[in-house]
Amino acid sequence: MLEKLASALPKAELHLHLEGTLEPEMVFALAKKHNVRLRFPSAAALREAYQFQDLQSFLDLYYEGAGVLRDEEDFHQLTLAYMDRVARDGVCHVEPFFDPQTHTGRGVAMREVVEGVVGGLREGEKKHGISWRLIPCFLRHLSEEEARKTWRDLIPFQKYFSAVGLDSSEKGNPPGKFSGVFAEVRAAGLCGVAHAGEEGPASSIREALEKLQAVRIDHGVRCVEDPDLVRELAKKRIPLTTCPLSNVRLCVYEKMSDHPLKKLLDAGVNATANSDDPPFFGGYLLDNWLSCLRELSLEKHHLVQLAKNSFEGSFLPEKEKAKWMEKVDQVAASCV
């Protein structure tokens, strides 16, 4: 019964990397289109390789797979496939990330990447009524100088973006490394969000809040190691975009029943459940919700709160947020 409610509730996805939605079959189709040689014999063999010890072992395969994305049409197709897929999960609003440097570093023009992604989002919106905001991320394993250059290349497309993010290898690359470029981003009128507290400690969440003035923390699960921080996050309603299946597949937690999502919700934190990189981690948005529902024994009020948090934590205008909250209450009332 609660499974039905999880599916029926309107939901927003706030933590999703478009490159991380590349299904192995699409990797092979695009490799054929562009005459790229892959080191795996088949899509099934590639999928079998999706077994990770930590974040870095995943990122190595993720960047390798992204190498088949070469032109605007590829980015459009990738993005539309994601919109088509999540329409089935009751997702009404999405705020995906993309990693411009992964592509510009291979000689793909920024315009092809951005126009392709925006084209896919617009077609998905028309087809399914899913609204969207878009967030380019800086790769934190690269230098701040490279992030500054990327920001200059992004400026002509600024109207498409609601924020700028920070992702990739957290260990050894603390948020403070990028405080200068995030100040530039804020001066241009965009806010920052940042991956923090995934593999890094709770102190990196504080650092993202203080040095980047991040308005939303991606993952953030390791805040539970600092009870004062949990209280502060709850008081300020700072959104945490957790990704439960990702955390288990990347060995942040040994098993789903160890995941702190329920504790965070009970502590009044604005936590959401998202998919991160679905084919790599075994599930899209609803799979994440259902896995938490079963393994954490979530109750009806947790599901309703997760749905409301996803809209509250979004970059939608207040009026739109209020409309979705009301809709969540309506669906919850009709599903006993």
Q: Which of 8, 1, 14 is nearest to 311 (CA)?
A: 14
198 binds, among Zn ion, ligand ADE, none (CB under 5 to 8 A by kind): ligand ADE
Cβ at position 195, least distance to ligand ADE in Å: 5
Other beta carbons less than 10 A from residue 56's beta carbon = 15
| Residue 18 vs 46, nearer CB to Zn ion | 18
Angstrom distance (rounded) from CA 290 to CA 9: 12
323 CB-near residues (< 8 Å, 6+ apart)? none
* Nearest-angstrom CA–CA distance, 269 and 309: 9
Among 72, 74, 89, 198, binds ligand ADE (CB under 6 A): 198
Q: Is 276 a residue that touches Zn ion (CB under 5 A)?
A: yes
The answer to whether 13 contacts ligand ADE (rule: CB under 6 A) is no
In the bound complex, what is the minimum distance in angstroms from residue 317's beta carbon to ligand ADE?
A: 28
Annotate each residue in 135-174 with x if it binds ligand ADE (CB under 6 A) or - if it does not, as one string.
--------------------------------xx------
Is 112 or 276 the residue whose CB approaches Zn ion more closely? 276
Q: Does 276 bind ligand ADE (CB under 6 A)?
A: yes
Task: Name which position in 150, 277, 314, 332 contacts ligand ADE (CB under 6 A).
Answer: 277
Residues found in the chain: 336
20 binds, among ligand ADE, Zn ion, none (CB under 5 to 8 A by kind): ligand ADE
Active site residues: 198
Does position 55 interact with ligand ADE (CB under 6 A)? The reply is yes
One of 20, 120, 124, 279 touching ligand ADE (CB under 6 A): 20
Q: Are strands 191-196 and 163-167 parallel, antiparallel or unpaired?
A: parallel
Least distance from Zn ion to the Cβ atom of residue 173, Å: 14
Q: Is 177 in the site for ligand ADE (CB under 6 A)?
A: no
CB of 10 or CB of 279, closer to ligand ADE: 279
What residue ranges bind ligand ADE (CB under 6 A)? 17, 20, 55, 62, 167-168, 195, 198, 246, 276-277
